[in-house]
Structure 1
Amino acid sequence: MATGSGTPGPPPPPPGQATQKVSDVITAFRPAKKFKPPNARTSVTSLDFDDTGDLAVVARDDDTLQIYNTTLGKHAKEFNSQKYGVHLARFSHHAQNIIYASTKVDDTIRFFSTHDNSFTRYFKGHTDTVTSIALCPSSDTFISCAKDNTVRLWDLQSPNFSGMLNLHGAYLACYDPSATVIAVASQLGHAVLLYDVRNYDKIPFATFDLAGLEQQYLGPNGGEWSKLEFTNDGKHLIVSTTGNGHFVLDAFDGGLKHFAYRKRGHTGRLGPSAGVPTRGTNGANGVAEALGQGDTAVTPDGQYLIGGSAEDGLLVWDISRDPSSDKYTNAEHLTGPGKAAIVGYNPKFNMLATADKDLILWQPDPDIMM
């Protein structure tokens, strides 16, 4: 049963929008549909699209999963996880199956079937808060990181982890597009480590040291690493932060290509090392802080980085152009209603989704496209 209401918006995108170049529409994105939670204190903590782009799932800190049909622009289903909580919800390659992290009782990752509202499997092993879940792009395997200083590899068909790395502060991990490389980020170690998937138990074949970049670009206020992601062309590796910008690295040698600078700073979400906040705890500004999954997303063509900002709307960085001598890349601002603390780009259609309290779907406005 739907609990949120959608504001009126334009009809679903025509099929042609799926094939339009991102560069032709990137500056034309405008909010098209808004879904409000029943409680104004509720926050979205994670967002994911299924492989077809037809569905989106969000986890909220009211311990619910919300499914949306993006093609129709409608709320589809709600599922409760009041006993275990829910965060980092991810579609498997089968849209009726979702994996997510628990925020209550224990640190088990749960495999949930939306078809019959039941748990298919439990992935037990982590002994502290799960901080990252990444599905393999070509198989039913996934990686998880946790505050227990382990990175675990799993297969959806088995409840037991198939591999484990013991790494201090390794809170983020992802696969490269070819599914042959695993990147693991440890901010405490100031490094991103690259492993061959077939030899993950060996030493990393590459290590990118970011200590100097942090000091130079994040400055005294710093910022926590909040998301790790390869671009779909495999050329760049994005290290998103809660500070005043994000690092766009050369995926082959780790060199800085761009520092995606945001003038007004971050969106206020807790980073992965914060653990699960007690509901009602307040941050320094007196506002209840919520978990996040990082507030960036890369466009499918790998040309643009989309990010949240402390003000209403979105930031867009062109990471395909040649970097400046100082590596600073400024953003274009897309105005919209509400803060974009969670950001996702539909993998099949030119559609954006952003969330803080509300979930907002963005589409290119044909009247202002070039």
Structure 2
Amino acid sequence: MATDLAPVSRIADLVTTFRPAKLFKAPPNTAYTSIDFDDSGEFMLCSRTDDTMQLFNTKAGAHAKELKSQKYGSALARFTHHSTSIIYASTKQDDGIRYLSMHDNSFIRYFRGHTGRVTSLSVSPGGDQFLSAAMDNTVKLWDTRSPNPQGQLDLESPYLTAYDPSASVIAVASPPAQALFLYDLKNYDKPPFASFDLLATEKIYAALFGQRPGEGWTAIEFSNNGKFILIATNGPGHYLIDAFSGELVHYLHRPNANPNTNNNNSASSPLRLAPGDPLPPASSYLQADTVLTPDGRYIIGGSGSPSVPGLLVWDAHEKASGKDKVLRPVAELPCTRSAAVVAYNPRFNLVASAEREAVLWVPDGDL
């Protein structure tokens, strides 16, 4: 299943040629809510709404294992840097984080301390540390080798977190405050060295496209070159901002997204919820349905509408149209399945997307 393009191929030559290559069906009335790849790129881990995590072998293009967590529930499953170990957030009984060995399906450690639903898990690119944010208005810093938090930030609604590529800066987003804060990891107990207020920016796109200010943020992500921060939403567009100045670089418009159904709790779209949204029964929140490519140039994401399946591609090097910095997609990648979560595998130049089913995408050499 994996391609041999990774060492030699430029992403610019491949990004518009991705096509679905493998489909993994799921039981009725379930949906995938997160995707992650291990460091080797060989394995993909997905959280699902039936309190399971599904492990796939991307090289073989095959399902590898089902990990059940019926007692505690599961969300935001992430690989650690140890290939057979993962962390995930509980959704039942408590608000703990569990460290699981997939080799024998046994718990290595519990990380307790949150008193509200965990909304974000970010594994450090540089070691055994990770961040968690929760609806108890805290962000906790952890080390997988200890059950106790190594530090804590107290913020209003800090629903989203991310490490920069150097693992020296952490970003925390508060969607209700419409703000993004950057901290020096070595001095996290000091005030943020930068804070970006997106209120004025969001008002522009609320007027243009019905983007709800301060709501529907699903994730934040640094580009691998450290230049950009992507603020993904479940509405009609995403924000790509300068990681140093906080100025808007592009508004990534999704032409088919409907702001009235993609970022609220309506029955027509029960699974496209942001981490801070109230959850109806048998529903779950999503990580982003967008991802930055490893070169920092392209953004691949879902259409934002279940009725319009497939993926969109934006080119950050393109000049945005007009003073409002609206960037239109440069390509549409066709598929019969909609995408609510998306991830990029840089080791093998694979894209994964999922909602009701999981799909692996590979470049089509004939295009």
Distance 1:256 1:16 in 2: 33
- Deviation of 1:358 after TM superposition, in Å, equals 0.3
Q: Deviations over 1:174-222 (max 9, x none)?
A: 0000111111001121110000000001000001010011111134451
Number of positions where the alignment pairs a residue of Structure 1 with one of Structure 2: 347
Give the equivalent residue in structure 2 for 1:251.
243
Give the equivalent residue in structure 1 for 2:344.
345
Give the equivalent residue in structure 1 for 2:197.
209
Give the equivalent residue in structure 2 for 1:47.
35
Give the equivalent residue in structure 1 for 2:56.
68
| Counterpart amino acid of residue 169 in structure 1 | S
User: Which runs of 5 or more structure 2 residues have no equivalent in the other structure?
Assistant: 263-268
Q: Indicate the SS of the match to 2:16.
A: helix
- Deviation of 1:17 after TM superposition, in Å, equals 4.2
- Superposition RMSD in Å: 1.3
- Deviation of 1:16 after TM superposition, in Å, equals 3.1
- Match for 1:25 among 8, 11, 14? 14
1:132–1:173 contact (8 Å) kept in structure 2:
yes
Distance 2:324 2:201 in 1: 12
- Match for 1:330 among 321, 328, 342? 328
Give the equivalent residue in structure 1 for 2:79.
91
Give TM-score scaled by structure 2 length.
0.92
- Deviation of 1:252 after TM superposition, in Å, equals 0.3
Q: Indicate the SS of the match to 1:218.
A: helix
Q: Indicate the SS of the match to 2:191.
A: coil
Pair 1:275–1:96, CA change in 2 (3 A): farther
Distance 1:19 1:73 in 2: 22
How does 1:1-370 map onto structure 2 within 5 Å? 12-37=1-26, 39-219=27-207, 220-222=210-212, 223-265=215-257, 268=269, 269-279=272-282, 289-309=283-303, 310=305, 311-324=308-321, 325-331=323-329, 332-368=331-367
Give the equivalent residue in structure 1 for 2:265.
none
Q: Indicate the SS of the match to 2:104.
A: coil
Pair 1:367–1:17, CA change in 2 (3 A): farther
Distance 2:86 2:130 in 1: 12
- Deviation of 1:291 after TM superposition, in Å, equals 2.1
Q: Deviations over 1:118-149 (max 9, x none)?
A: 00000001001000000000010000000001
- Deviation of 1:74 after TM superposition, in Å, equals 0.5
2:142–2:150 contact (8 Å) kept in structure 1:
yes
1:88–1:101 contact (8 Å) kept in structure 2:
yes
1:129–1:276 contact (8 Å) kept in structure 2:
no
- Deviation of 1:243 after TM superposition, in Å, equals 1.4
2:218–2:287 contact (8 Å) kept in structure 1:
yes
- Deviation of 1:236 after TM superposition, in Å, equals 0.1
Between 216-225 and 65-74, the greater mean CA deviation after superposition? 216-225
Give TM-score scaled by structure 1 length.
0.91
- Deviation of 1:336 after TM superposition, in Å, equals 0.6
Distance 2:197 2:286 in 1: 25
| Counterpart amino acid of residue 321 in structure 1 | E
Distance 2:100 2:87 in 1: 6
